[in-house]
Structure 1
Amino acid sequence: MELISSAERNQLFERFAHDAFHLELRDDYSVPNEEGPFEDWLNGSATDDAFMEPWTRLMKGVTGSGMTVRRVRVVTEPHSPYIRWEYATTGVNEAAGESIRWLPRHRLPEGLRFPVDGNDWWLFDDKLVAVGHFDGSGRVLGSEIIESPAVVAECIRVRDLLWPLATPTAAYQP
């Protein structure tokens, strides 16, 4: 399996035409550029959101051009410290144009099987899936690009099932 870097995956946002959808299934992410801000937040210090600037600039560009960027975060309740921090910083993502919804894991439809071995994924224009792969400690290894119609169709099915079940951030009470 060939993996592309996060930077290469982000280039996909410059090429999609309508909709990007992210399904997040992990309760913790070990993203190196987040370690300092996350630790500061854990220690009660104000979080400097400057580390998010490259992402928010990208999101403002694509959503400002009329494209949609949506996420469903499937989370365990009570939340892990990382998810509590992610919830606290979600306003930055939404101010950049993303639409984010939350779905407690215990509210998932019974018997739901996630495509791509239960990994997180981005679905671009209902044509291409970028599957996130992580090592044993939760660090991002890269993304696998899949254009198989069967895999894409399964991701569309899961997206269309979960989006209406998930709660928008403004209404979600952790």
Structure 2
Amino acid sequence: MDLITSAQRDDLFNHFARDAFHLELRDDYGSPVEESPYARWQRGEPDDCSWLDYWTALMRRVTAAGRTVRRVRVISEPHSRYVTWEHSLTALNQDAGEDIRWLPRHRLPEGVVFPVGGNDWWLFDDRLLAVGHFDGSGRVLGSEIVEDPETVARCVALRDQLWEIAVPHTEYKP
């Protein structure tokens, strides 16, 4: 399987026309960009969040052009430390134009099936998937590009189902 880097995946935001959607299914992520800020947060140290500047600038540019960026974060309750930290930062994503919702695992519809091996994915314009792959410790390995119409259709249907029942960030109280 061929994987693209996180930078190559981020470049997809320069090419979609209408909607980008991210399904997040993990309670912990191992991202090199987040390691130091997350460690500082765990120690109770302040963070100016400048490490997020690239992403928030990209999101501002994309959403200012009239395109939408949405996420559903499927999470366990009680939260992992990582999800607690992630929740504390989500207002920054929203201020940049993303629309983020939370869905506790216990509220998932009975029998829900996660396509693409239960991996996270970005869906661009209901036609292209960037499926995240991780190593055993949760570190991001890269994304696999999938354009198979049947797989994409399953992801579109799941997105629509979960979006309707997920709780908007401003209403979700951990």
- TM-score relative to the length of structure 2: 0.99
Deviation at 1:97, TM superposition (A): 0.3
Aligned 1:100-139 pairs, distance under 5 A: 100-139=100-139
Q: Deviations over 1:22-59 (max 9, x none)?
A: 00000000111111111111111222210111111110
The RMSD of aligned alpha carbons is 0.5
| Pairing of 1:58-73 with structure 2 (within 5 A) | 58-73=58-73
Using the size of structure 1 for normalisation, the TM-score is 0.99
- Structure 2 gaps of 5+ residues are none
Whole-Å separation in 1 of the counterparts to 2:148 and 2:158: 16
Q: Distance in 2 between matches of 1:43 and 1:70?
A: 30
Residues 105-150 of structure 1: CA deviation (Å, up to 9, x unaligned): 0100001010000000000000000000000011100000000000
CA distance in 1, matches of 2:145, 2:133: 11
- Between the two proteins, the alignment pairs up a number of residues equal to 174
Q: Check the 8 A contact 1:131/1:146 in 2, yes or no.
A: yes
Distance 2:67 2:124 in 1: 11
- Look up the SS of the partner of 1:164 in the other structure: helix
The match for 1:173 is: 173
Percent identical residues? 62
| Residue identity opposite 1:146 in structure 2 | V
CA contact (8 A) 1:37 1:48 kept: no
Q: In the alignment, what sits opposite 1:76?
A: 76
Moved over 4 A (4+): none
Q: Give, in whole Å, the separation in 1 of the partners of 2:79 and 2:48.
A: 22
The separation in 1 between residues aligned to 2:48 and 2:144, in whole angstroms, is 31
Question: For the residues of structure 1 that align with 2:50 and 2:111, how far apart are their CA atoms?
Answer: 41
Question: SS at 2:141's partner residue?
Answer: strand
- Name the structure 1 match of 2:147: 147
Q: Which amino acid is the alignment partner of residue 151 of structure 2?
A: V
